[in-house]
Structure 1
Amino acid sequence: MQRTLSVGVRDGLHARPAAQLVRLAKSFTSAVVLERGGATADAKSPLKLMLLGVKEADEVTLRTTGDDAAAALEQIAAFLGGAEAGIAPAPAAAPVIAASVAPTLAETGRRGVPASDGVAVGPVHVHAHPGLPEPLGRIAPEAAPAEVERFHTALADTLASVSARAGTLPGADLQPIVEALADVAGDPEWARLVEERIAGGADAVAAVLLAGTDVAGRFEAMDDAYARARAEDIRSVSRAVVGTLLGWTATSLAEVPAGAIVVADEVTALDLSGAPLERIAGFLCRCGAATSHAAIVARSHGIPAVFGWDEPLERLATAKVVALDGTTGEVHLDPDAATIADFQARIRARQASVAALAPYRTISPRTRDGRAVTVAANIGSLRDIDPALEAGAEGVGLFRTELVFMETAELPSEDQQTAIYREVIERFRPRPVTIRTLDIGGDKPIPAIAFAPEDNPFLGWRGVRMCLDRPDVFLPQIRALLRAAAAGPLRVMVPMVSDIDEVHAVKALIDTCRADLAARGVAHGRFDLGIMVETPAAALLAPALAREVAFFSIGTNDLTQYVMAADRTNRQVARLCRPDHPAVIEAVRLVCVAAAVAGIPVAVCGEAAARAEMVPILVGLGVDELSMSAPAILRVKKQVTEIWAVPPEARP
């Protein structure tokens, strides 16, 4: 079976979505092959997928062969169409410039590749990896089996080390990156390439280096900057395995002094996984790109970075102080007093801008006419809690529980879910947490649930429809939510509601679960039940639904695509997928009016909640809560305090 489609995955199949797609493909017994531009790749190999160089909006052909080919085709096609929930795209603010095409000093004076905004001045901290052995080692043919075994032992040790490191990372950005690198290192295709070179007479160290250089070169030859930057991942994996083979102590950034500028040939995700990021003032690297994992992490942590600086590391290592501007790419080695003063003035200006938002961290914002508007966080995992709290989130407006289900090959148990939900509630207590019940369907596949083929999964068996048909999936989640509710204030909302009978059915199941827990003496609590308003049916039935639930939460992403009958992953109709379209605004207005009559609050948890032009519109319509990703929270809090919720003609 086969299907041709346009890829909707943000930034294409780079390391993280490739790893997620591989896990999905491996959940089927069928063979899964992806074709792009005449080249094909086994979808169960992350390395082959990455080398295919699939970009967002590329046209690809998906082929499946085997007993479960139809289900595999539907679910993987849905993933490729953009249903890879929870994969964070690279921030769009930074220019996409690869180090391999970076302008040189002779062409531009004193500028490199701007990779992460910000200004820094500080002492140099050189981060250098050990030199690789030269010449490369050779072995006799009879030594090849032992050398292959030596390689596999080192690879297993490296994988164990990388996986252990991934499990202890504090940041939501680094953990999935390092996990994806572990998947690449464990790819049988990678092992095959190394084994081929051992068979050709190279020892294990030489074979790893040769295979790594070959694969990195293939990435660097691609026409897409994001794909070229994946050469960094391959070099990082190769270096880690070589280090294990040679018994090196891994080079670490753990001892970097506070306020230092890290100077290096290249900084990788593995390097950063052991780094105290709060102590690093900036990065200056000879290699790397604005699309590299190091750049992505630097931006998410507010660390200025300049890459593609065309001077030997030996020259950079002689500098005592570096001043750099990650917005413009400007760099000064051992700057004079006037330059230092200039950069310090720039730093103070940026700090003043950030400081202007800082007071809003503890403010519960009110509009200029006194109306309170809650600004909460959207989260998808426990890793998102700290950034949300640090940004001053007034609770959680959306916890996407589907990510809990997507991270394992089997359904998470009731106890596992209880522990996760309880931790979120306890961390935010006394602020309320809103958890969405499982929003999985044909457009958001998970390995543990089989979905029949659907011609249009966006209009198919998803959300509450699937949950009501699968009590074996839904009842453990409800019981887990009731048990977690004993830890603090909890609101639970049901997705994809289009009929009032669905609400009645959910209520009946909640009563059944509550009675079951009580009969067994299991501690539990109560939660407010609400619904996601994301179908036109729910918007039109809002007056009746408002009498049945404790709150509404508007999912503007789906509501927009359903109101406009325009697939939000289809670029040809993207102009119609606008939350500010009059038809969508009218649907939101109807929901807010119905909620006001019933005396229940309305939240918005779709992307529109963080859009500057939409905030005054939504608040003016009567929305009580805006929920968004952590980086937008302070800005939106400030904006709320600057707008009028009451229209001019109604003001006193």
Structure 2
Amino acid sequence: MLELLRKIVQEVSTAPDVDAVLGLIVRRIQRGMKTEVCSVFLLDAPSQRFVLRASQGLNRKAVGRVSLSSSEGIVGMVAKRAEPINLEDAETHPAFYLLKDTGEERFHAFLGVPIIHQKQVLGVLVVQQQNCRRYDEAEEAFLVTISAQLAGVIAHAQVTGAISKIAWKHQKSIDHRFEGIPGAPGVAIGRVVVVAPLADIDAVPEKATDDIAQEIARFETALERVRADIRKVSARLAKRLRHDEQALFEVYLRMLDDNALAGEVVAQIKQGNWAQGALSAVITSNARQFARMDDPYLRERATDVRDLGRRVLAYLQEESGSKRIELPENGILVADELSPAVLGEVSAEKLAGLVSVLGSGNSHAAILARSMGIPTVMGMVDLPYRQLDGREVILDGYSGRLYVDPSEELIQAYREVLREQEEVAAELATLNDLPAKTIDGSRMPLWVNTGLIADVSRSLERGAEGIGLYRTEIPFMVRDFFPSEYEQMQIYRRQLEAFAPLPVTMRTLDIGGDKALPYFPIKEENPFLGWRGIRVTLDHPEIFLVQIRAMLRANEGLGNLRIMLPMITSVNEVDEANNLLDRALIELQEEGYVVARPSVGVMIEVPAAVYQLRRFAKRVDFISVGSNDLTQYLLAVDRNNPRVAGLYVPYHPAVLKVLEDIAREARKDKLQVSICGEMAADPGGALLLMAMGYDALSMNATNLPRVKSTIRSVSMVQAKVLLDKVMRMDDADKIQALMTETMKSLGLSQLSSPVLPE
């Protein structure tokens, strides 16, 4: 059964459309379970009926024609209950309903299991047999397992098939909508540019080409380069390999002949597919055929085919242009996984929106997008993104939706949302030079989180009073090697000079987790509980010292630098970092630099750090709460995983209790405490944090005007009354509802999400 399961999942995952997926499922299960019938009923959303979409054993003419509602038949009962039903003789069951013209009257034994994806019943998988008998526990367990494994594949195949029916160019759909997770608020209307990972055969976007000759020439150039590489390797290893082993290189070369893979690719290009897309289609198809074979030797050839494909693709991608991604006006970037490095390769002026198949609204890519003010949707796991290049879309960063080839009516509706956004932004701009002060006179300093140079001018324009978090890892991410001390010094100096004399808090290099350097990869089973933040830099004091020296040199003559240590869990880490700082300080002073020791603080983002605040207070000058990671660790929710994104709740009672405790403990030692997580960027969250007693709030520049407007519209008394209500509540959803209602009662609902088209 395990081998059968492996084969089914492997074959189905590479099937081109939903009909092929369903056909494979019913044929494989019917033969593998030695049952007489296997059928799949799928829910048709418009009619809300379960339609027979594939069958091996029933009358094929009935496929696509017969259907049941959720209140009809045993199939409907399986769907309604969302649990398996196993019957010795289906005809004797009160819910039995004979589907005419299917031929099922001959079959008595019945086993149906629901196909469930993201809590939604997509359909029902059924096996039947003529003899009256109950399917045994192993068979039922197998069918349940198959259903769970295939639910996501079927869901993806459904949306992929729907989008494939729309032509590549100049054709509107019926507002086909895909759901994701809101990453950064805002609306964008534009055309898609798909960013494919390097040498990933499965991620090549589909594109048509008008210049067939040029695409063939590009392919043949890449092909010849791969052939040359294989010949070089073969020659280099000639003396070390036996004759039969040497012959493997000849096999590789023959696979690239015009009569083999190369010929198929050229044929695809002649049909109008671009070279990379043609290569991807041919390699995927051939690899799939080999993978299905029973002979182990032939099955392994699938690996060879994919390896050759990756080699050719790498040269095609290298030849196709520079590293910088070219965008049209109002370009919407779609990637399998967004990263800060990708954002550094695009023109910010043309970038209108971002979509990531992987990740969640709390990933660092989403945080950067909010900082840049770019509408973003994350976690669109069912999006057939390879087919979207060049397509017109509407991106709704408020609700996490993407509309492909939208109708004119929907475009007009969203243009009205854009107009309202501009009106709110213009109104908020009048507050830029005003302080964040409550109506009863309480002052709340608003700082910004920065990482890109463009953040500086945007932040100052909007009245930022300092930098609460400068992400020093960003300059590291957009390079091909570690930046030198001088390069770092220049980068840091620009941030410090722009804000002087206002404080600039620089976090030491914080890599690991979801922040990787291409030239310093960290591969771990559980990266968020692994080698990251201060753990990396203390293990590599040469990296830490160079960065600290660069910061101290950049601060010469300015004096507004604050250094912050990330991912701190113990006093030993603080002591070690302080010792290295003192060493760097002495070295620079001996070299003739006029440098002074800056304020040093730690980030409170690990639960262990929460309970050592009093100890840290003896060693540092300030603390800053990183509420994003702290929430992640408290709730045991990977903030990059879209499957559990709904469990990442900033208004969780436990999170609010910890944040309040931190502020109270810091006050006992008169230790300055700020917060630089995304909760501070939420207008409602800012009110609660202000009432808790935080000394400063740090956020992305985009949200700063909204937070300022909120603070200027309330009194501290009102904020404390709200906090008191919230802290007595025990349900995150109810707290969220209260916050929404409070914003509405204060006349501040326009600072949250606008009214969106349905």
Task: Tell me the TM-score normalized by structure 1.
Answer: 0.53
- Which of 509, 517, 537 does residue 467 from structure 1 map onto? 537
For residue 484 of structure 2, what is the aligned residue in structure 1? 413
Q: Is the 8 A contact 1:398 1:627 kept in 2?
A: yes
Partner SS, residue 613 of structure 1: helix
Partner SS, residue 505 of structure 2: strand
For residue 619 of structure 1, what is the aligned residue in structure 2? 690
For residue 308 of structure 1, what is the aligned residue in structure 2? 405
Is 1:511 the equivalent of 2:554?
no
- Alpha-carbon distance in structure 1 between the residues aligned to 2:519 and 2:386: 37
For residues 356-367 of structure 1, what are the structure 2 equivalents within 5 Å? 356-367=427-438
Q: Is the 8 A contact 1:467 1:473 kept in 2?
A: yes
- Alpha-carbon distance in structure 1 between the residues aligned to 2:651 and 2:628: 11
Residue 117 to residue 565, structure 1, CA distance change in 2 (3 Å): closer
Q: Is the 8 A contact 1:438 1:463 kept in 2?
A: yes
Residue 584 to residue 487, structure 1, CA distance change in 2 (3 Å): farther
For residues 178-193 of structure 1, what are the structure 2 equivalents within 5 Å? none
Partner SS, residue 413 of structure 2: coil
- Alpha-carbon distance in structure 2 between the residues aligned to 1:277 and 1:572: 31
- The one-letter code of the counterpart of 2:550 is A
Q: Is the 8 A contact 1:486 1:526 kept in 2?
A: no
- Alpha-carbon distance in structure 1 between the residues aligned to 2:213 and 2:619: 75
Structure 2: 5+ residue stretches without partners: 1-6, 14-116, 119-158, 180-185, 191-207, 228-255, 286-314, 332-341, 353-384, 725-758
- Alpha-carbon distance in structure 2 between the residues aligned to 1:134 and 1:450: 39
- Alpha-carbon distance in structure 2 between the residues aligned to 1:639 and 1:581: 22
Report the Cα offset of residue 273 of structure 1.
7.0
Residue 211 to residue 510, structure 1, CA distance change in 2 (3 Å): same
- Which of 612, 627, 642 does residue 541 from structure 1 map onto? 612
Residue 427 to residue 296, structure 1, CA distance change in 2 (3 Å): farther
Residue 324 to residue 278, structure 1, CA distance change in 2 (3 Å): farther
Is 1:211 the equivalent of 2:275?
yes
For residue 159 of structure 1, what is the aligned residue in structure 2? none
Partner SS, residue 360 of structure 1: coil
Is 1:479 the equivalent of 2:451?
no
- Alpha-carbon distance in structure 1 between the residues aligned to 2:409 and 2:535: 54
- Which of 366, 371, 376 does residue 442 from structure 2 map onto? 371
- Which of 202, 206, 210 does residue 132 from structure 1 map onto? 210
After superposition, the C-alpha distances for 1:64-117 in whole angstroms (9 at most, x for unaligned) are xxxxxxxxxxxxxxxxxxxxxxxxxxxxxxx9999766799x999998999984
Identity score, percent: 31
After superposition, the C-alpha distances for 1:5-50 in whole angstroms (9 at most, x for unaligned) are xxxxxxxxxxxxxxxxxxxxxxxxxxxxxx9953899xxxxxxxxx
For residue 38 of structure 1, what is the aligned residue in structure 2? 10
For residue 711 of structure 2, what is the aligned residue in structure 1? 640
Structure 1 residues 380-389 or 484-493, which shifts more?
Answer: 380-389
After superposition, the C-alpha distances for 1:553-598 in whole angstroms (9 at most, x for unaligned) are 1011222233344544566766654332232222222221232233
For residue 353 of structure 1, what is the aligned residue in structure 2? 424
Q: Is the 8 A contact 2:462 2:701 kept in 1?
A: yes
- Alpha-carbon distance in structure 2 between the residues aligned to 1:117 and 1:644: 32
Report the Cα offset of residue 384 of structure 1.
3.8
Q: Is the 8 A contact 1:366 1:373 kept in 2?
A: yes
- The one-letter code of the counterpart of 2:444 is V
- Alpha-carbon distance in structure 2 between the residues aligned to 1:203 and 1:572: 40
Residue 274 to residue 410, structure 1, CA distance change in 2 (3 Å): closer
- The one-letter code of the counterpart of 1:211 is A
Q: Is the 8 A contact 1:98 1:290 kept in 2?
A: no
- Alpha-carbon distance in structure 1 between the residues aligned to 2:12 and 2:468: 42
Report the Cα offset of residue 358 of structure 1.
1.3
Report the Cα offset of residue 136 of structure 1.
8.7
Residue 397 to residue 110, structure 1, CA distance change in 2 (3 Å): same
- Alpha-carbon distance in structure 1 between the residues aligned to 2:495 and 2:281: 44
- Alpha-carbon distance in structure 1 between the residues aligned to 2:438 and 2:696: 12
Residue 110 to residue 508, structure 1, CA distance change in 2 (3 Å): closer
- Which of 562, 566, 569 does residue 633 from structure 2 map onto? 562
Q: Is the 8 A contact 2:511 2:517 kept in 1?
A: yes
- The one-letter code of the counterpart of 1:308 is D
Residue 475 to residue 298, structure 1, CA distance change in 2 (3 Å): same
Q: Is the 8 A contact 1:365 1:374 kept in 2?
A: yes
Residue 467 to residue 110, structure 1, CA distance change in 2 (3 Å): closer
Partner SS, residue 132 of structure 1: coil
Partner SS, residue 438 of structure 1: coil
After superposition, the C-alpha distances for 1:428-484 in whole angstroms (9 at most, x for unaligned) are 334322111122346644455576x86654344432233223211211111111111
Q: Is the 8 A contact 2:632 2:639 kept in 1?
A: yes
Provide the aligned C-alpha RMSD in A. Answer: 5.9
For residue 432 of structure 1, what is the aligned residue in structure 2? 503
Q: Is the 8 A contact 1:372 1:624 kept in 2?
A: no
For residue 328 of structure 1, what is the aligned residue in structure 2? 413
Q: Is the 8 A contact 2:625 2:674 kept in 1?
A: yes
In the alignment of these two chains, the number of paired residues is 448
Q: Is the 8 A contact 1:395 1:432 kept in 2?
A: yes
Partner SS, residue 438 of structure 2: coil
Partner SS, residue 586 of structure 2: helix
Partner SS, residue 585 of structure 1: helix
Residue 209 to residue 490, structure 1, CA distance change in 2 (3 Å): same
Residue 456 to residue 419, structure 1, CA distance change in 2 (3 Å): same
Residue 97 to residue 606, structure 1, CA distance change in 2 (3 Å): farther
For residue 16 of structure 1, what is the aligned residue in structure 2? none
Partner SS, residue 552 of structure 1: strand
Partner SS, residue 352 of structure 1: helix
- Alpha-carbon distance in structure 1 between the residues aligned to 2:688 and 2:273: 57
For residues 72-151 of structure 1, what are the structure 2 equivalents within 5 Å? 117=187, 132-133=210-211
- Alpha-carbon distance in structure 1 between the residues aligned to 2:599 and 2:561: 7
- The one-letter code of the counterpart of 1:214 is A
Partner SS, residue 530 of structure 1: strand
- The one-letter code of the counterpart of 1:132 is D
For residue 568 of structure 2, what is the aligned residue in structure 1? 497
Report the Cα offset of residue 363 of structure 1.
2.6
Residue 114 to residue 543, structure 1, CA distance change in 2 (3 Å): closer
Report the Cα offset of residue 528 of structure 1.
1.5
Residue 417 to residue 110, structure 1, CA distance change in 2 (3 Å): same
- Alpha-carbon distance in structure 2 between the residues aligned to 1:107 and 1:252: 22
For residue 458 of structure 1, what is the aligned residue in structure 2? 528
After superposition, the C-alpha distances for 1:142-164 in whole angstroms (9 at most, x for unaligned) are x9988977999xxxxxxxxxxxx
After superposition, the C-alpha distances for 1:172-202 in whole angstroms (9 at most, x for unaligned) are xxxxxxxxxxxxxxxxxxxx89998876796
Report the Cα offset of residue 347 of structure 1.
8.1
Residue 349 to residue 416, structure 1, CA distance change in 2 (3 Å): closer
Q: Which has the larger radius of gyration?
A: 2
Partner SS, residue 440 of structure 1: coil
Partner SS, residue 703 of structure 2: helix
After superposition, the C-alpha distances for 1:349-393 in whole angstroms (9 at most, x for unaligned) are 554333221112333211232222222222233354444445443
- The one-letter code of the counterpart of 1:397 is G
Residue 412 to residue 196, structure 1, CA distance change in 2 (3 Å): farther
Task: Tell me the TM-score normalized by structure 2.
Answer: 0.47
Partner SS, residue 38 of structure 1: helix
Partner SS, residue 547 of structure 2: helix
For residues 235-384 of structure 1, what are the structure 2 equivalents within 5 Å? 308=405, 326=411, 328=413, 351-384=422-455
Report the Cα offset of residue 525 of structure 1.
4.5
Structure 1 residues 524-533 or 377-386, which shifts more?
Answer: 377-386
- Alpha-carbon distance in structure 1 between the residues aligned to 2:442 and 2:160: 42
